[in-house]
Structure 1
Amino acid sequence: MNDLIMPLDLHNTIVTSAYLKRGFNQDEADKAARFCAMASWHGIKTHNAIKALHLDDLFGSGNQKSQGCTPRAEIEEIPNRFKACTVWNAHKKLGQAVAFNAIEQAMTLADEYGVGIVSVDEAFHYLWGGGYVMEAAKRGYIAYTCCTAALAEVVPFMGKHPTLGTNPHSWAFPTMDALGYPIVIDWATSTVAMGRVQQFKRENKQLPPDAAVDSKGNPTQDPHNASALLPFGKHKGYGLSLINELVAALIGGSLPTLRSRPENITTGTIEKTTPNFYFQVIHPDAVSSGLFADKRNQSENTKAVILDILGHGNENCLLPGQLEHQAACESDKAGGLLFTEAEILEFEQIAKDSDIPFTIDQLVAHQV
């Protein structure tokens, strides 16, 4: 069956209502809906509204034993002596709202100092990091973010027990003039994200090889049996995942095996269970030498480099961010967000829980 088209306004009404019902304020709910729509518009099925609300149920405002996300929390700025750097205590505020604010702050700092850094402690997961840096790149900046994942679900290279998060890295580059879309390099440091495992469960698909292990540590491609994930590229993915943990540790981060797992805290000790964010935005002028060959300017030189990489018989190669751009074009062509029938059935339940009248029968199929 073809994907079904959900109008953007309907999607945002359902998602905003779901967050408002959970006690979040209007700004938080609006930013949550904005984020979820942005992810779906670009074909990111692992971090759409279904994933966002599920994460909040498990580890956020819906967790009655240990609330990892606090509706209506206020960000506290922690004083530091570096003008280009901002450090926040998020007080477990909704991750999407914090991240949108952080990337805006980093761009403001980059305008003044050439580079802007925002570090966030006591956070709740922001989901798809690529979306935030993509927005910055569309506005002309080089942007990077990394975070520690909500759970330690990844087994380190040559290890047996999951002690790392999926720990994504996200870079975006201002290539709108050169390509018509920003290059976005965004990846979890596990072979697949846990959101992909959940997606494959819904759609009864098999995982790729060397992506997951079962409860006994044996490799499995069955998403229903996946107990922990493996780092991509063996020691290389492990090293990249370790970067996130070390950056977080320097900010003030929690022990990986305790994140979102307060039940693992030893009685009598005081430990944290929250993720951390790191944002960095660079103004292109801040890195430019001006010494571009053949009288090219910075934008022309960037395009020339990309064309050289994709030349010489490599013309059919994909660029990072190209698939997201194509998905966005397809969403634009459809005039709405594209979801599978299984996803729409999830939205039916979300709408029902939020007293929003909606059924799958209201939607039409996308004609490819």
Structure 2
Amino acid sequence: MIADDDWNKDWVCNMETFENVQIRHAALEAFCSLVLQSHGASESAAAACARALSEASLRGVDTHGVRLLPLYVQWIKGGRLNTSANIKYSKVAPGLGVVDADGGFGHVASYRAVNEAIVLAKETGIGAVAVHRTSHHGATGTYALHGASQGFVTFGFTQSGPGVVAHSGREPFHGTNPIAFAVPLEREEPVLLDTATSSIPLNRIYLRRDTGTQLPEDVAVDQEGRMTTDPHRAVSLLPLGGVEYGYKGAGLATMVELLCTMFTGSAAAVTLPALNDVSRGQPSPLGHFFLVLDGARFRGMAPLLEVASSLVTKLRACESVAGGQVMAPGDPEKLEKMRRSETGVLVDRATWLRLSELANEKALPVPATLA
């Protein structure tokens, strides 16, 4: 278990920094749900989406947190999200299932898929569920955590619209195509790997535009395919690994896309609309894929937890370079969750203005900000 003195809480890990307002997590989640309901989402769909967005913001994953809410509202207005979706699940074989999201919220479909995969894993030891006719679901790690928090080793994959150049290419071909992997631990939240197969998430470009901060070196290119750190000029990302080793990220992106299209019939990323395309007029045929393992079937739950927790403890104990701190996957987000649970969730000023406009449009109460 992580104690407060296990980390230097003043150490700044790889989180975004920006001028912000601070809002209690519960109030922010409730507000997001109200906004979505006011635009036609059912109470259950709004709650699932609000939960996923607010939890991402609570963990410091600001690129995939509440800043996406105004975009989703635009999608609803433009017909890209079906607020009346009738989500259906079919078991197609022992250990295999399919969720038809009917063009609705990817968050609802993804929670449903993991829950159904857990049912399958309880029966057979393994559950794989493909999701088709779905939409953007926020942070993929949200759903891996959902499964691992119930004691199951959980993988999550999703494709996305083109925003990443092929290795040695000039034009967008891949989506950011994240991979998430979570394993339960003893007496603390699961260990979580949640990473795009691109150099950075595409949403980080949009966040940096809003916060007026430059991009890192060697992660993005402009319209002519030249490297840029200007988020306003950046149009595409490099695969994970950059110029020299981007074949690694491009290969992983291809793997994710195959998992999310072969079993779902979803379209290739290069044919999908961009994330910020609000004029689609109809849902996009996106795909997700989830794999859940009942790890206790191998040697029992106690040995699984012991090995996983021991490995994470040894990793954290590694000697660090000056000014650094060795962490396990997901530790920066755990640390940020500790901070934000105490001081409030950080919302950048541009996003706060958009959220306030959404509230005013529907005469909804704006959540109180903290000092």
Provide TM-score, normalisation by structure 2. Answer: 0.85
Give secondary structure in 2 for the equivalent of 1:181: strand
Q: Is the 1:69–1:94 contact (alpha carbons within 8 Å) kept by the matching residues of 2?
A: yes
1:185 deviates by: 0.3
**Can you list the C-alpha shifts for 1:11-36, whole angstroms capped at 9, x where unaligned?**
23321222112211111111111111
TM alignment of 1:346-357, pairs within 5 A: 346-357=354-365
| Compared CA separation, residues 83 and 182, structure 1 to 2 (3 A) | same
CA distance in 2, matches of 1:327, 1:182: 15
Give the deviation of 1:312 after TM superposition.
Answer: 5.3
Q: Helix, strand or coil for the counterpart of 1:54?
A: helix
2:32 counterpart residue number: 15
In structure 2, give the amino acid aligned to 1:146. Answer: F
Where does residue 73 of structure 1 map in the other structure?
85
Deviations 1:34-86 (A, max 9, x none): 111111111110011221431452xx3232xxx33211211233462x12111
Q: Is 1:201–2:209 an aligned residue pair?
A: yes
Alpha-carbon distance in 2 for matches of 1:86, 1:345: 41
> Which residue in the other structure is 2:66 paired with?
49
Deviation at 1:229, TM superposition (A): 1.1
Task: Find the partner of 2:347 among 309, 329, 339.
Answer: 339
Instruction: Check if 1:301 corresponds to 2:307.
Output: yes
1:89 matches 2:108: no
- The Cα shift of 1:165 comes to 0.6
Q: Structure 2: how far apart are the matches of 1:274 and 1:260? A: 10
Is contact 1:68–1:274 with CA below 8 Å preserved after alignment? no
Shift in Å at residue 339 of structure 1?
Answer: 2.3
SS at 1:364 equivalent: coil
Distance 2:362 2:87 in 1: 27
Structure 2: which 5+ runs fail to align? 1-17, 275-282
Q: AA paired with 1:303?
A: S
Residue in structure 2 matched with residue 28 of structure 1 by the alignment: 45
CA distance in 2, matches of 1:256, 1:3: 33
Deviations 1:156-185 (A, max 9, x none): 1011111111111101110143xx221110
Is residue 134 of structure 2 the alignment partner of residue 123 of structure 1?
Answer: yes
Distance apart, 1:95 and its partner CA: 0.8
- 1:173 corresponds in structure 2 to 183
Match of 1:318 in 2: 327
Q: C-alpha deviations, 1:111-156, integer Å up to 9, x for none?
A: 221111110111111110111111222221110110111x111101
Match of 1:223 among 226, 231, 235: 231
The one-letter amino acid of 2:31's match is I
Give the equivalent residue in structure 1 for 2:258.
246
**Equivalent pair of 2:106/2:135 in contact (CA under 8 Å):** yes
State the alpha-carbon separation in 2 of the partners of residues 324 and 312 from structure 1.
19
Q: Secondary structure of the equivalent of 1:327? A: helix
Q: How far did residue 89 of structure 1 move?
A: 1.9
How big is the shift at 1:205? 0.7
> Which one-letter code corresponds to 1:62 in the other structure?
K
Measured at CA, do residues 190 and 2 of structure 1 come closer, stay the same or move farther in structure 2, by a change above 3 Å?
Answer: closer
User: Helix, strand or coil for the counterpart of 1:219?
Assistant: coil
Is the CA contact (8 Å cut-off) linking 1:90 and 1:122 kept in structure 2?
A: yes
Letter of the structure 2 residue corresponding to residue 161 of structure 1:
E
Structure 1 counterpart of 2:162: 152
* Rg comparison, structure with higher value: 1
Could you tell me how far 1:107 is from its partner in structure 2? 1.5
- In 1: Cα distance, 2:326 partner to 2:24 partner: 33
1:199 is paired with a residue whose SS is helix
Give 1:249 deviation, angstroms.
2.8
The answer to whether the 8 A contact 2:205-2:215 is kept is: yes
Within 2, Cα distance between the matches of 1:183 and 1:209?
29
> How many Å separate the matches in 2 of 1:300 and 1:247?
31
TM-score (norm 1): 0.85
Distance 1:105 1:255 in 2: 25
Structure 1 residue matching 2:319: 3-state secondary structure: coil
Distance 1:222 1:9, change over 3 A: same
